[in-house]
Chains A and B, each alone.
Chain A
Amino acid sequence: MRVNTPQINHQTIEGEVVVINLENGFYYSLLDLSAALWHLAASGLDLDAIVERVAATYPDVTDAAGATRAFLDELVAEQLLVDGEGSPAPAEAGLPTRYTAPLLEKFTDMQELLMLDPIHEVDSIGWPHKPTGT
């Protein structure tokens, strides 16, 4: 998999990954294990391999593999990741020692802003354009 560029952009600051969808206004926050999973998936690592690595790293956690699979599926469903060759993961892309349930925190408040955009809520009086056929 790879990050769905150019519409999806991401930045990592102090361990938190902030992902933004430039097309629809959604943006996301990923922390702890979620951030590590993002880096691994964005690096092109096979999703099945990521799930296996999580299961091996946290053998005492019930259904860590299932939660990870659901999380990765959500990244794909949100179209943050698509098929393709990824970029190398940053050095800190290993899995954290402590398990935290993976979570994709999604923010939708920009959708309201886009829908309220006033520029399309009026008519087109005064619109200058070429006559049809020119």
Chain B
Amino acid sequence: MSSAPVSGSGRAREISEWFGALVEHHRATAAAEGESMAELAVGRVPIRFHFAGSRLRPFLFPALAHHPQARSEPAFTILIYDSRPGAAPVPAFPFRLEDVGAKGEVAAATTESIRTTWFIGSRMLSVIDLERKVAICWTPDAATLPWYERAAPLRTLLHWILAASGRNLVHAAAVSLPSGRGALLAGRGGSGKSTTAMLCLAAGFHYAGDDYVVVSADQGQAEAHSLYGSAKLTANSLEWLPFLRSGVQGDAADGEKTVVMLGDVIPERMVDSFGVAALIVPHVSAAPRSTLRRSTAAASLRALAPTTIFQLPGSSGATFEQLASFTRAIPAWSLELGADRDDIPALVAQAIEAG
């Protein structure tokens, strides 16, 4: 986790001035190369995505394009850009490579209002000023972005923006019945949540996400909200869902998985928000049949919180507390994924309808 943010007004002012220089750098890039904007409601939070230049939008926007248009003034604006060869250099970072923490967090460029991450693998800078309500995403070259930044773009910035708006980005899948109620599928990578989500999709469920979704509990109503219109499919999943082949992103692959933009292929099956009636923790099992049984809210919390917190920079005890509050409100289930998976969608539906 990150260490304490910088203290001292001089250092904080230097970080703030650097943020201002980045904003100006984005403005100059937009003036030189053109710009485009979109205002979307993500988890019902209105966010403006302001691209300078045209190179990053094809990589970062498709997984977000399924969100509805925002109907009110943006709560936050994200400035997004890269640098073409020969362009003015990005304002020098006020921190060193050694300052970057295990999850990309940079305590040396974090103040009361500003948070910073640098992801070395994707060479992506994410900075947010919670007072100015402005966030910045910069990378030196859009063409070098790895596939995972396209499947789950702007994840850190959206995590911070949504947290500031009373939402939690969580590591979970989410599917719903056409009736409008649904289930959150929680668990670490490999637990079977993506497989379960894809089996449900093949059985006619609606889909909010297979890896990261947003949850909220406004006025006691637990809801899940779609975040990304992407899905990571195994070869098996593509067999179950052959109609998704047209949405495969050619070079976006994670080992055995292929990234598909569902929002492009089956927009009618994407659901923006739904009431969560069940929190299901799947487990891959060697049993011949799949089985569903009631579980505990504490088991839900153990499946949901650690894998969320340890992937998202800036998560804290407050995140843990919020997720505990969320899991307390939702009936908990355990789903053993047996060899015969035909029954899985019916079991998920059973949990939803029981809730």
Contacts and interface: CB of A to CB of B under 8 A. Distances in A.
Interface of A: 5-7, 9, 11, 13-14, 16, 18, 20, 22-23, 25, 27, 29, 107, 109-110, 113-114, 117-122, 124-130
Given A14-B297, A29-B302, A130-B92, A23 B324 contact: no
Nearest to B99: A129
Interface string B124-139: 0000000000000000
A18 B302 contact: yes
A119 B122 CA distance: 7
Contact of A11 (B89, B189, B301): B301
A81 B143 CA distance: 48
Instruction: Report which residue of A22, A118, A126 has the largest number of chain B beta carbons within 10 angstroms of its beta carbon.
Output: A22
A124 B97 CA distance: 8
Interface stretch (B52-60, B175-183, B308-316): B308-316
Contacts of B297: 13-14
**Chain B residues touching A, range:** 35 or more
B346 interface: no
B18 to A, nearest CB: 10
Contacts of A127: 97, 123
Contacts of B309: 20, 22
Contacts of B317: 5-6, 9, 22
Nearest to B119: A119
27 contacts: A5-B317, A11-B301, A14-B296, A16-B296, A18-B298, A18-B301, A18-B305, A20-B306, A20-B320, A22-B1, A22-B316, A22-B317, A23-B1, A25-B310, A27-B302, A29-B302, A107-B306, A110-B307, A113-B188, A113-B310, A118-B121, A119-B119, A124-B120, A126-B141, A128-B90, A128-B92, A129-B92
B140 interface: yes
B82 to A, nearest CB: 11
Nearest to B120: A119
Contacts of A124: 97, 120
Given A13-B301, A110-B306, A124-B120, A117 B320 contact: no
Interface in B58-106: 89-90, 92-97, 102-104
A17 to B, nearest CB: 8
Nearest to B300: A13
Contacts of B95: 129
A107 B310 CA distance: 14
Contact of B311 (A11, A20, A113): A113
